[in-house]
Amino acid sequence: MGKKVQCELCPTECILEDLQIGGCRVRINKGGVLYSLVYGKPCAVAVDPIEKKPFFHFLPATTAFSIATAGCVLGCKFCQNWEISQAKPEETDNHNLMPDDVVRQAMFYGCRTITYTYTEPTVFYEYMYDTAQIAKKYNLKNTMHTCGYINEKPLRKLAEYMNAADVDLKAFTEDFYSRICGGRLKPVLDALVVLKQENVWLEITNLIIPTLNDDNGKIKEMCQWIIKNLGPDVPLHFSRFFPHYKLKNLPPTPFETIRDARNIAMDAGLKYVYIGNLRSEAENTYCPECRKLLIERAGYFVKQNNISDAKCRFCRAKIPGIWS
């Protein structure tokens, strides 16, 4: 009897011989059964402002109990957390923190949310799923920062417990995903649509890397796709690139490039477009109706919040998001 198995979690769908480990580094075929090697073994545990994820339309000025394990489904050359995302679980310093421990710790630290982040949470799917289930029972919210490289079936099941997702839409070309990330664009777009259908609050992050994905035409195309498939209310965060990992030869993204991208997105019709990794007034939320300042931010900190009952305090326009 053969003991080969096929993982069906992410679009890579690795076929594994007995004792072989998947491309994500954290799933092993042992005797014809696929196991997770990182269940209850986070290598990163922290209490962060929710704005750091980034979520700008989700419980502002609250904290998120954030966890990650080793491993990733992609291999982005610009990864900011490559020391853990591109590592095997035996190469990282891991905590022993089972799902009930995570919930207990989150409650102890007064966090409103548990966030699955830093690396790609898809790789620790079972750990995330079990934790999210318990968290929901104890009235904690669940959020994830993901690359969206996950198959439809597991994503729909997870969405039952996931309140919000920040999806990295890394570029709008298959070539970029293939050459720079080792993946494909299409499954990510499909995942975005699934999250929208499942009523998971969605925010999108796009890291702009000089010469690789800073083409204005492609940025416009991406924004038009977002509006057509997800709607104009989805917050879009353009993030500034800093040289990292295998892309140390490139310069940081010039301010003008990000400013132009933001203008393109707003001209296309997106209502909430932010700039990240760069201090500017584009960190703030403005009312699309009366243009008044709604949420003033300084980095990860909220200085003032003029949203009450999910509405603009000045003109009472409804502001999309999860505010309480």
Q: What is the DSSP letter of 253?
A: P
Nearer to another protein, 163 or 239 (CB): 163
Provide the minimum distance between the beta carbon of 223 and another protein in the complex, in angstroms, as a whole number: 32
Residues recorded for the chain: 324
Nearer to another protein, 92 or 257 (CB): 92
Going by C-alpha positions, the residue among 51, 64, 85 that lies closest to residue 299 is 51
Nearer to another protein, 30 or 220 (CB): 30
CA 69/CA 89 separation, integer angstroms: 7
Nearer to another protein, 153 or 248 (CB): 153
CA 141/CA 227 separation, integer angstroms: 27
Provide the minimum distance between the beta carbon of 91 and another protein in the complex, in angstroms, as a whole number: 17
β-strand partners of 27: 36
Going by C-alpha positions, the residue among 171, 208, 175 that lies closest to residue 188 is 171
Find the angle CA(72)-CA(182)-CA(70) to the nearest 5 degrees: 10
CA 154/CA 196 separation, integer angstroms: 15
Provide the minimum distance between the beta carbon of 24 and another protein in the complex, in angstroms, as a whole number: 11
Provide the minimum distance between the beta carbon of 92 and another protein in the complex, in angstroms, as a whole number: 15
Provide the minimum distance between the beta carbon of 287 and another protein in the complex, in angstroms, as a whole number: 40
Nearer to another protein, 69 or 205 (CB): 69
Strands 164-168 and 285-286: unpaired
Query: For residue 18, which amino acid is it?
Result: D
HEC string of 282-294 equals HHCEECCCCCCEE
CA 145/CA 164 separation, integer angstroms: 9
Provide the minimum distance between the beta carbon of 35 and another protein in the complex, in angstroms, as a whole number: 4
Nearer to another protein, 122 or 285 (CB): 122
Provide the minimum distance between the beta carbon of 2 and another protein in the complex, in angstroms, as a whole number: 5
Going by C-alpha positions, the residue among 77, 251, 253 that lies closest to residue 179 is 77
Binding site for another protein (CB under 8 A): 1-2, 4-9, 15, 27-28, 30, 32-37, 39-40, 98-100, 103-104, 125-127, 129-130, 133-134, 137-138, 151, 153-154, 157
Nearer to another protein, 17 or 281 (CB): 17
